[in-house]
């Protein structure tokens, strides 16, 4: 019985449990909903479904709006709808209050929590449009200038990048917007840097994505790390440092004269600036050395050099000048000042003409004046009287123009210019003392166009005409030479006959003879003194030759067998003591027994009673024939008449026979080749 009772108890418990669960399920179906939660993305539309609510059959559902506000939800049956546009940046969660009531039951209130999910709908924003930073030029690498961070209402991760003049600066990382110094800075190279910082709310390629930017201005501060720089100077880079090299200054003073004003120096006044231009500290000046005679004084503030007394020696003085910063005195530098003591100039250079005018046609072509001759500038200096005013220290240039160059006083164009009329100024400068003179130059620039392929037809025509003229000149010269050669052919024939005559004398007469002298009155008056047949240019006479056999026959009666040839020597030449090789001229005599009356025929007459050993001078007896005057040419010019008058005043002619001439048979001496032989 106990076992049966125990089994009943278990069965009863299980049945009770099943009935309880069934009753709870039936009651749950008949109960109103419990509170719950749903999500909705922001930026929704009004009327969008939020959720659907399950209620018991026969039950009713209504909204239970909060007091004092507009319900953001609406109810359509069991559907909960959005009555507004949700913004996750404004509302993260909302609560919808509802009331459920079953028939013959009390109303039951419950709520639904609505979570508004975020959507990327806002770009990131920088708090400032411009950020400014200052940094020293000596700041080490990785120095942090500052942090520039953007804000995003969507609370997304942001990514940064720096663009622009990024030399010397960068970011810590793409997600950490710290501005760092990435390399050494130099104030003298870069004083200000402008950077642009971009930010993006997503990684590249992700959509939707928003970005924005801001400007970063960085000012580099100068540091006192350079000494004074004398001006002007040439700047050189030595690694990361800058060095300013000055070539020094030059000046001039006059011997035994004290200048009252500060000296004028080249290339300009002596002054220095702080090498750190951002600091620009005041500079002081001092003469360190080179002025043993205490001739000069320097103003410590302005750097002007003046004379304390006159210089009494022609010399070159080199001063060493020190420039130092007034506050940071360890920053110093030095330069040289070369002063030449010169003799005073009393005159300025002067152009030969106050105005020049010319034309130029191309680059590298010499300018021509109005006479189509090379345009030359010349300035003289009266201080150089010993050289005719030519001062070797004068140079020339065109004031204010680099388009022209003057070389040796001649003007050349160095740059291609368009056609124009230019009014320029020429300067003559004495580089010894810097004295100058000016003159006006009116220059016409002309264009000479040459075809790109070479010379044009006009050029070829001009060249052909020039060659034609040269050819005509050459032909004329050749014709002139031919005419003279033909005209002188008879003279050469006569010279040949004379040589034959001398040979016949050697053969026919046989021996030598002492110099026997004879007279010939036919030589005293020669009406045809200018002819190559009868005389030389100075009035001498050449004897007309005859056949050699006639001459030999005549000589047999008047000469001994050993008669030598004839040489004529001017008394004036013999008196002057000149060399006989230069003054004696060989004469080709024509010796006849009788005197011939033919016009233009000259004869040599010999006296029969002359002692061969006497060596007397042969006197030319003036011809007294009446018809001599008729033979003169009435058409001779006044110059020829004067020449004939001078011929009649010639000194006595000496005829000498030399045996050495007749011994050379058939030979032509140098004098044989001379057509006109002076007596």
DSSP of 613-678 = TT-PPPPPPPP--GGGGGGS-TT--HHHHHHHHHHHTPPPEEEEEEHHHHTSTT---GGGG-SS--
Last residue of a domain, one of 185, 206, 221: 221
Same domain flag for 338 and 353: no
Q: Note if the bond before 208 is cis, omega within 30 degrees.
A: yes
- DSSP annotation of 140 reads P
Per-residue pLDDT at 51: 92
Question: Please, which pLDDT band fits residue 610 given cuts at 50, 70 and 90?
Answer: low
Last residue of a domain, one of 284, 318, 342: 342
- Rounded Cα distance between 304 and 651, Å, is 86
Q: Hunting for tokens 């089994």 — which residue is that?
A: 7
Q: Is residue 476 part of a domain?
A: no
**Over 80: is that where the pLDDT of 324 sits?**
yes
Per residue, what are the HEC states of 550-614? HHHHHHHHHCCCCCCEEEEEEHHHHHCCCCHHHHCEECCCCECCCCCCCCCCCCECCCCCCCCCC
Same domain flag for 212 and 142: yes
Closest CA to 611 of 509, 516, 513: 516
Per-residue pLDDT at 469: 76
C-alpha distances out from residue 47 to 76, 88, 600, Å: 10, 18, 155
- Residue 637 · residue 500 · CB < 8 Å: no
What are residue 488's phi and psi, to 5 degrees? -90, 0
- Rounded Cα distance between 353 and 13, Å, is 147
Q: Is residue 423 part of a domain?
A: yes
Average pLDDT for 87-114: 87
Across 446-492, the runs of DSSP E, i.e. the strands, are none
Token representation of residue 187: 């104030």
Per-residue pLDDT at 576: 44
Structural domain boundaries, residue 206: 130-221
**Over 60: is that where the pLDDT of 637 sits?**
no
- Residue 548 · residue 666 · CB < 8 Å: no
- Rounded Cα distance between 47 and 73, Å, is 9
- Rounded Cα distance between 273 and 389, Å, is 44
**Over 90: is that where the pLDDT of 381 sits?**
yes
Token representation of residue 468: 């034609």
Q: What is the pTM assigned to this prediction?
A: 0.44
Q: DSSP letters along 277-295, please?
A: TTT---EEEEEEES-TT--
Helix (H, G, I), strand (E, B) or coil at 386: helix
Q: Is residue 337 part of a domain?
A: yes
> 541 or 22, which is more confident?
22
Helix (H, G, I), strand (E, B) or coil at 530: coil
Give the pLDDT confidence of 416-433 residue by residue, as tens digits: 999 999 999 999 999 888
Average pLDDT for 607-618: 52
Which stretch of 262-266, 343-347, 559-563 has the lowest confidence by average pLDDT? 559-563
Q: DSSP letters along 502-515, please?
A: HHHHHHHH-S----
Average pLDDT for 288-304: 93
Helix (H, G, I), strand (E, B) or coil at 407: strand
Question: Please, which pLDDT band fits residue 590 given cuts at 50, 70 and 90?
Answer: low
What are residue 352's phi and psi, to 5 degrees? -65, -25
Q: Is residue 650 part of a domain?
A: no
Token representation of residue 185: 């800075």
- Rounded Cα distance between 153 and 88, Å, is 10
**Over 70: is that where the pLDDT of 148 sits?**
yes
Average pLDDT for 405-412: 94
Same domain flag for 147 and 206: yes
Question: Please, which pLDDT band fits residue 168 given cuts at 50, 70 and 90?
Answer: confident
Per-residue pLDDT at 523: 43
Per-residue pLDDT at 598: 56
Same domain flag for 367 and 303: no
Question: Please, which pLDDT band fits residue 457 given cuts at 50, 70 and 90?
Answer: low
Give the pLDDT confidence of 11-42 residue by residue, as tens digits: 665 655 555 555 444 444 556 777 888 999 98
Same domain flag for 160 and 200: yes
Helix (H, G, I), strand (E, B) or coil at 440: strand
Q: Is residue 359 part of a domain?
A: yes
Closest CA to 528 of 644, 649, 624, 675: 644
Same domain flag for 82 and 42: yes
Q: Is residue 652 part of a domain?
A: no
Across 392-522, the runs of DSSP E, i.e. the strands, are 394-398, 404-407, 410-413, 420-430, 435-445
- β-partners of residue 424 are 441
Q: Is residue 7 part of a domain?
A: no
Average pLDDT for 520-526: 46
Average pLDDT for 579-596: 49
**Percentage of the chain exceeding pLDDT 90:** 39
Give the pLDDT confidence of 200-241 residue by residue, as tens digits: 998 888 888 899 999 999 999 999 989 999 999 998 887 777
Q: Note if the bond before 671 is cis, omega within 30 degrees.
A: no
Question: Please, which pLDDT band fits residue 169 given cuts at 50, 70 and 90?
Answer: very high
Same domain flag for 380 and 438: yes
Per-residue pLDDT at 479: 80
Q: What angle (nearest 5°) sits at the alpha carbon of residue 358, between those of residues 352 and 363?
A: 120
Q: Is residue 139 part of a domain?
A: yes
**Over 70: is that where the pLDDT of 521 sits?**
no
* Residue positions counted in the chain: 679
- Rounded Cα distance between 435 and 164, Å, is 55
Same domain flag for 373 and 397: yes
Q: Hunting for tokens 């004046």 — which residue is that?
A: 369
**Over 60: is that where the pLDDT of 550 sits?**
no
Per-residue pLDDT at 187: 87
Closest CA to 295 of 324, 267, 258: 258
Per-residue pLDDT at 530: 45
**Over 80: is that where the pLDDT of 575 sits?**
no
The terminus-to-terminus CA distance of the chain in angstroms comes to 204
> Which alpha helices (DSSP H) does 95-196 contain, by range?
none
Which stretch of 60-69, 155-164, 388-397, 550-559 has the lowest confidence by average pLDDT? 550-559
Question: Please, which pLDDT band fits residue 531 given cuts at 50, 70 and 90?
Answer: very low
Per-residue pLDDT at 519: 45
Q: Based on the structure, what is the number of domains in the chain?
A: 4
C-alpha distances out from residue 461 to 448, 464, 466, Å: 16, 5, 9
Give the pLDDT confidence of 429-454 residue by residue, as tens digits: 998 888 999 999 999 999 865 555 55
Which stretch of 65-79, 120-134, 160-174, 248-262 has the lowest confidence by average pLDDT? 65-79
- β-partners of residue 363 are 413
The mean pLDDT of the chain is 76
- Rounded Cα distance between 228 and 233, Å, is 11
Question: Please, which pLDDT band fits residue 58 given cuts at 50, 70 and 90?
Answer: confident
Per-residue pLDDT at 495: 61
C-alpha distances out from residue 500 to 268, 493, 549, 569, Å: 91, 11, 10, 23
- Residue 192 · residue 219 · CB < 8 Å: yes
- β-partners of residue 546 are none
> 545 or 165, which is more confident?
165
Same domain flag for 284 and 217: no
Same domain flag for 208 and 252: no
Same domain flag for 325 and 265: yes
Last residue of a domain, one of 92, 117, 142: 117
- Residue 676 · residue 537 · CB < 8 Å: yes
Same domain flag for 173 and 99: no
Report how far Cα 268 is from the mean position of its chain's Cα atoms.
24
Q: Which CATH number do you get for residue 292?
A: 2.60.40.60
- DSSP annotation of 272 reads E
Per-residue pLDDT at 283: 96
For the chain, the C-alpha Rg in angstroms (whole number) is 65
Ranges 13-17, 192-196, 649-653, most confident: 192-196
């Amino acid at each position: 019985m106990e076992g049966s009772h125990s089994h009943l108890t278990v069965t009863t418990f299980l049945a009770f449990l099943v009935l309880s669960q069934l009753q709870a399920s039936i009651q749950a179906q008949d109960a109103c909903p419990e509170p719950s939660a749903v999500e909705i993305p922001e930026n929704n539309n009004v009327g969008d479904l939020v959720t659907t609510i399950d209620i018991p059959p026969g039950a009713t559902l209504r909204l239970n709006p909060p007091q004092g506000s507009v319900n953001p939800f609406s109810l359509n049956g069991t559907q909960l709808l959005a009555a507004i546009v949700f913004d996750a940046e404004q509302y993260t969660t909302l609560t919808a209050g509802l009331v459920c009531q079953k028939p013959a039951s009390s109303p039951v209130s419950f709520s639904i929590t609505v979570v508004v999910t975020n959507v990327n709908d806002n770009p990131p924003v920088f708090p400032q449009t411009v950020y400014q930073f200052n940094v020293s030029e000596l700041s080490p690498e990785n120095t942090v200038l500052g942090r520039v961070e953007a804000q995003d209402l969507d609370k997304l991760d942001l990514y940064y990048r720096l663009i622009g003049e990024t030399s010397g600066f960068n970011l810590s990382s793409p997600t950490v917007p710290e501005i760092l110094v990435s390399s050494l800075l130099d104030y003298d190279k870069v004083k200000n840097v402008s950077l642009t910082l971009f930010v993006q709310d997503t990684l590249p390629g992700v959509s939707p994505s928003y970005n924005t930017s801001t400007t970063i201005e960085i000012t580099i501060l100068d540091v006192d790390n350079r000494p004074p720089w004398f001006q002007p100077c040439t700047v050189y880079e030595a690694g990361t440092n800058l060095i300013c090299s000055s070539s020094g200054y030059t000046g001039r003073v006059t011997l035994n004269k004290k200048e009252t004003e500060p000296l004028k120096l080249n290339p300009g006044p002596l002054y220095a600036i702080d090498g750190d231009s951002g600091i620009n500290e005041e500079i002081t000046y001092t003469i360190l050395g080179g002025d043993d005679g205490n001739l000069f004084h320097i103003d410590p503030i302005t750097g002007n050099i003046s004379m304390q007394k006159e210089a009494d020696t022609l010399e070159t003085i080199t001063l060493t000048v020190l420039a130092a910063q007034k506050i940071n005195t360890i920053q110093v530098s030095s330069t040289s000042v070369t002063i030449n003591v010169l003799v005073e100039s009393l005159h300025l250079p002067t152009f030969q003409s106050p105005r020049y005018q010319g034309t130029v046609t191309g680059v590298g072509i010499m300018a021509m004046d109005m006479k189509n001759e090379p345009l030359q500038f010349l300035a003289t200096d009266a201080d150089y009287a010993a050289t005719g005013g030519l001062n070797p220290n004068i140079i020339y240039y065109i004031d204010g123009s680099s388009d022209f160059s003057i070389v040796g006083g001649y003007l050349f164009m160095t740059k291609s210019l368009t056609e124009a009329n230019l009014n320029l100024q020429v300067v003559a400068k004495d580089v010894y003392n810097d004295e100058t003179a000016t003159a006006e130059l009116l220059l016409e620039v002309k264009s000479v166009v040459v075809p790109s392929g070479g010379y044009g037809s006009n050029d070829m025509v001009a060249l052909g005409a020039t060659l034609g003229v040269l050819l005509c000149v050459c032909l004329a010269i050749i014709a002139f030479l031919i005419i003279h050669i033909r005209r002188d052919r008879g003279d050469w024939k006569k010279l040949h006959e004379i040589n034959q005559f001398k040979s016949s004398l050697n053969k026919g007469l046989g021996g030598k003879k002492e110099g026997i002298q004879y007279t010939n009155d036919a030589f005293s008056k020669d009406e045809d003194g200018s002819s190559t047949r009868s005389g030389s240019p100075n009035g001498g006479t050449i004897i007309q030759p005859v056949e050699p056999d006639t001459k030999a026959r005549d000589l047999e009666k008047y000469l001994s067998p050993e008669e030598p040839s004839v040489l004529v020597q001017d008394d004036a030449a013999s008196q002057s003591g000149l060399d006989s090789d230069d003054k004696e001229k060989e004469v080709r005599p024509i010796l006849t027994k009788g005197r011939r009356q033919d016009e233009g025929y000259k004869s040599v007459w010999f006296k029969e009673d002359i002692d061969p050993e006497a060596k007397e001078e042969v006197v030319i007896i003036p011809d007294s024939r009446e018809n001599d005057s008729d033979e003169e040419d009435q058409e001779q010019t006044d110059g020829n008449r004067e020449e004939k008058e001078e011929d009649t005043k010639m000194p006595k002619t000496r005829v000498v026979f030399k045996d050495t001439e007749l011994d050379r048979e058939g030979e032509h001496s140098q004098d044989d080749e001379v057509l006109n032989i002076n007596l």
